[in-house]
């Protein structure tokens, strides 16, 4: 099975470099153009199913992709972004000033601290990775004689932390490696699952955004 992980297009919070958790913003004008670019990049891929985070920015991106495939977009709560609680919508400078103790802990080891009024990265990892495991099992169970499960292509439109957690967990990497991985909005990552092992085929692919959006 091939799993294509898509990060949603840009929102106003992304543009303003604000922390964005479960606040339900839609795409801005640039984000809508990015979603169209993603759709064109994937239009010739034989996609079997499209899953999405239920948050608007992800759903809007997923619907743009689905138009070329005429398949239903399936929302999954397990693909939601990290709940960042009270810092949602803040800039990093605002977070440093208003939550200084938390900010120091977060910058030291973001895996060991709870967001004020929100969740933790390990909790998110457990939730979204369980969701991906369910998806893989479902595709394996649904594979028939005419279509081997290795030929299945699944698109999952989600967010920064879920994608980083899914890739880190699949490859057996410590979550602290997240700080060393860059993941742009409207980027594509691809994992291949086979009986022997899972392979990271591509990471942070943004070639489709270079066509003058």
Tell me the angle at which helices 56-66 and 29-42 cross, rounded to the nearest 10 degrees: 40
Query: Is 81 considered catalytic here?
Result: yes
Query: Is 8 considered catalytic here?
Result: yes
89: CB partners within 8 A, 6+ apart: 13, 18, 19, 20, 23
Global model pTM greater than 0.85:
yes
Catalytic residue (choose from 8, 99, 159, 208): 8
pLDDT tens series, the chain, 213 aa: 999 999 999 999 999 999 999 999 999 999 999 999 999 999 999 999 999 999 999 999 999 999 999 899 999 999 999 999 999 999 999 999 999 999 999 999 999 999 999 999 999 999 999 999 999 888 877 665 455 556 899 999 999 999 999 999 999 999 988 888 899 999 999 999 987 889 999 999 999 998 766
Asked: is 2-85+120-210 a CATH 3.40.640.10 domain? The reply is no
Q: Residue 165: its pLDDT value, please?
A: 95
Domain map (residue ranges) of the chain: 2-85+120-210
Q: Residue 145: its pLDDT value, please?
A: 46
User: H or E stretch including 77?
Assistant: none
Cα–Cα distance, 179 to 198 (Å, whole number): 22
User: H or E stretch including 44?
Assistant: none
Catalytic residue (choose from 81, 99, 159, 208): 81
């Amino acid at each position: 099975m091939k799993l294509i992980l898509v990060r949603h297009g840009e929102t106003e919070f992304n543009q303003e470099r604000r922390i964005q958790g479960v606040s339900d913003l839609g795409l801005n004008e640039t984000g809508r153009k990015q979603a169209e670019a993603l759709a064109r990049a994937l239009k010739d891929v034989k996609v079997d199913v499209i899953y999405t985070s239920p948050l608007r920015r992800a759903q809007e991106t997923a619907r743009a992709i689905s138009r070329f495939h005429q398949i239903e977009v399936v929302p999954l709560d397990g693909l939601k972004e990290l709940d960042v609680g009270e810092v949602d919508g803040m800039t990093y400078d605002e977070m440093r000033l208003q939550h200084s103790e938390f900010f120091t802990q977060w910058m030291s080891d973001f895996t060991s601290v709870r967001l004020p009024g929100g969740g933790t990265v390990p909790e998110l990892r457990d939730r979204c990775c369980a969701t991906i495991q369910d998806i893989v099992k479902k595709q394996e169970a649904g594979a028939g004689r005419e279509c081997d499960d290795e030929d299945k292509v699944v698109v999952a439109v989600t967010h920064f932390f879920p994608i980083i957690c899914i890739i880190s967990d699949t490859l057996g990497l410590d979550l602290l490696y997240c700080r060393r991985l860059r993941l742009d909005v409207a980027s594509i990552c691809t994992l291949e699952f086979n009986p022997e092992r899972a392979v990271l085929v591509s990471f942070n692919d943004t070639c489709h955004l270079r066509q003058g959006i």
